[in-house]
C-alpha cells in the first residue's frame, strides 16, 4: 500500500511501526537455526554433575515460551527416561516432589514469578535444582543457593528463544543419563533440515496462512506431538493475535470429533501429519481429517520432514512459526506486542 504521508501522517507512522515489528519477528524466526547452533555450543561447554540423591522423578517448571520447551523435551525423552517427567506451569509443585526429585526451572528472562515461586517450593522440599535462564532473579537464586544453572543470551521475546531451552533441557537430560545418546545430534539434524528446506518451508507457511486466515484454528496431531500442537496454539495466540485450540489423536476421537457436529466455516483445522503414528492412530487421523472436511472447507494437513520425533519437531516448530507470522501479516497485525501480558505483570507486581 502506498501512503501519502502528508495526508495521513499518523497512519503512516502506525504502518511503519507494524512494518518494523514484522521485520523484527521475521528476523527472530529466521534465527531459529542459528540459535540452535549457538545453543549447541553453550551445551558443549556446560557440565552438570549427577545429584548425590537417587532421582525418582523430574519436574520442569516454566511458563509460556519457556514452559513449552519443557513440554516438548519431556515428550522427546519419554521412551528412554527411566523416571517420570512432568512439566509444570504454575506457582507450586505437586506433593510428590521431595529430595528425590530433580526440578529444572526454565525462564528465559529469569524473572517469571510462577517459575520463581515453583523453585522456592522445590527448594523447601529439598529437591535438586537446575536453572536455565538469561540472567534475572533465577540466576541470582541459583547463585545464592549454589544450584547449577546455564545462562543463554537474552534480550528477545521468550517465545523466539525456544531453541535455547530445547537444547539446554536436552543436554541436561543427556548428561544426567535420562535422554537417548543421540538427542543433540537429532536436534542438529533438524537444524540442517530447516536450513536445506528454508524456501519450501516459507512458501508452504504462506500458502497455509492464506487458507487459515480469518478462521479460528484447531490444531491436531498424534499425542506424541502434543507439545508441538501447544506451541502452534501459543504462536497463533501471541504472534497472530488469534484464538486457537489444540487436541491430540486418539483422545480427540473420544469427544472433540463429536463436537465437530456443531462445527462450521467459522473454523479451520490444521492437522500435523508426522508419518509415525501407529496403524490404528493413523486410521483415526485420516477419519478425523475426512470428518472435519465435511464441516469446514478449510482443513489443512502439513507434513513433518525428518527421521525421528526430535527432527520432525524442529522442522514443525519452524514451519508453524512462519505460519503464525504470515497470519499476523495478512491482517496487518503486530507480531511482537503482548500488551495484555505486560498489563497483567504490572497489576500483579502491585500485590505485596
User: Is there a contact between 171 and 184 (Cβ–Cβ < 8 Å)?
Assistant: yes
Please confirm, yes or no, whether 256 is among the known catalytic residues.
no
Q: What is the DSSP string of 273-319?
A: E-S-S-HHHHHHHHHHHHHHHTT-S-EEEEE--SSSHHHHHHHHHHH
Helix (H) or strand (E) holding 106: strand 101-107
Nearer to ligand G6P, 276 or 337 (CB): 337
Please identify, using beta-carbon distances, which residue of 101 and 115 lies nearer to ligand G6P. Answer: 115
204 is catalytic: no
Site residues for ligand G6P, 147-186, by CB under 6 A, read 157-159
Nearer to ligand G6P, 108 or 178 (CB): 108
Q: How far apart are CA 173 and CA 168, in angstroms?
A: 9
Check: CB of residue 152 under 8 Å from CB of residue 135.
no
Whether residue 247 lies in the annotated active site: no
Under DSSP, is residue 152 helix (H, G, I), strand (E, B) or coil? coil
From 186, 226, 238, 300, the catalytic residue: 238
C-beta separation of 161 from 240 below 8 A:
no
116 or 269, CB closer to ligand G6P? 116
Does the footprint of ligand G6P cover residue 239 (CB under 6 A)?
no
Determine if 70 is a binding residue for ligand G6P (CB under 6 A). Answer: no
Smallest distance from the beta carbon of 157 to ligand G6P, in angstroms? 6
Those residues with Cβ within 8 angstroms of residue 293's Cβ, 6 or more apart along the chain or in another chain: 299
Binding ligand G6P by CB under 6 A: which of 33, 115, 170, 246? Answer: 115
Catalytic residue (one of 7, 254, 350, 352): 254
Binding mask 85-114 for ligand G6P (x = CB under 6 A): ----------------------xxx--x--
Q: Is 217 helix (H, G, I), strand (E, B) or coil?
A: strand
Among 28, 64, 73, 184, binds ligand G6P (CB under 6 A): 64
**Other Cβ atoms closer than 10 A to 295:** 15
Q: Which stretch binds ligand G6P (CB under 6 A): 62-70, 80-88, 200-208, 218-226?
A: 62-70
Provide the annotated active-site residues.
Answer: 238, 254, 345
Amino acid at each position: 500500500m502506498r501512503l501519502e504521508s502528508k495526508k495521513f501522517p499518523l497512519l503512516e507512522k502506525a504502518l511503519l511501526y507494524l512494518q518494523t515489528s514484522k521485520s523484527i519477528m521475521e528476523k527472530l524466526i529466521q534465527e531459529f537455526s542459528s540459535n540452535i547452533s549457538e545453543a549447541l555450543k553453550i551445551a558443549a561447554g556446560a557440565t552438570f554433575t549427577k545429584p548425590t540423591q537417587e532421582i525418582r522423578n523430574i519436574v520442569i517448571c516454566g511458563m509460556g515460551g519457556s514452559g513449552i520447551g519443557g513440554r516438548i523435551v519431556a515428550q522427546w525423552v519419554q521412551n528412554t527416561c527411566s523416571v517420570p517427567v512432568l512439566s509444570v506451569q504454575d506457582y507450586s509443585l505437586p506433593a510428590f516432589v521431595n529430595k528425590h526429585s530433580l526440578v529444572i526451572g526454565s525462564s528465559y528472562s529469569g524473572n517469571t514469578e510462577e517459575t520463581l515461586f515453583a523453585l522456592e517450593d522445590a527448594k523447601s522440599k529439598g529437591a535438586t535444582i537446575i536453572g536455565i535462564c538469561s540472567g534475572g532473579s533465577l540466576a541470582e537464586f541459583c547463585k545464592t543457593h549454589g544450584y547449577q544453572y546455564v545462562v543463554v543470551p537474552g534480550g528477545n521475546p521468550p517465545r523466539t528463544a525456544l531453541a535455547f531451552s530445547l537444547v539446554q533441557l536436552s543436554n541436561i537430560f543427556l548428561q544426567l543419563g535420562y535422554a537417548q545418546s543421540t538427542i543433540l545430534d537429532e536436534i542438529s539434524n533438524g537444524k540442517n533440515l530447516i536450513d536445506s528446506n528454508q524456501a519450501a518451508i516459507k512458501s508452504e507457511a504462506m500458502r497455509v496462512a492464506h487458507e487459515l486466515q480469518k478462521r479460528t484454528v484447531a490444531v491436531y496431531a498424534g499425542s506424541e506431538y502434543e507439545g508441538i500442537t501447544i506451541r502452534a496454539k501459543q504462536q497463533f495466540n501471541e504472534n497472530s493475535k488469534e484464538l486457537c485450540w489444540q487436541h491430540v489423536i486418539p483422545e480427540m476421537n473420544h469427544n472433540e470429533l463429536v463436537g465437530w457436529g456443531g462445527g462450521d466455516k467459522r473454523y479451520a483445522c490444521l492437522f500435523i501429519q508426522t508419518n509415525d503414528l501407529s496403524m490404528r492412530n493413523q486410521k483415526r487421523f485420516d477419519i478425523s481429517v475426512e470428518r472435519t472436511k465435511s464441516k469446514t472447507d478449510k482443513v489443512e494437513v502439513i507434513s513433518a520432514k525428518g527421521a525421528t520425533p526430535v527432527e520432525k519437531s524442529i522442522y514443525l516448530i519452524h514451519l508453524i512459526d512462519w505460519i503464525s507470522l504470515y497470519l499476523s501479516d495478512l491482517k496487518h497485525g503486530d507480531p511482537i506486542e503482548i500488551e495484555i501480558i505486560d498489563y497483567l505483570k504490572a497489576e500483579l507486581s502491585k500485590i505485596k
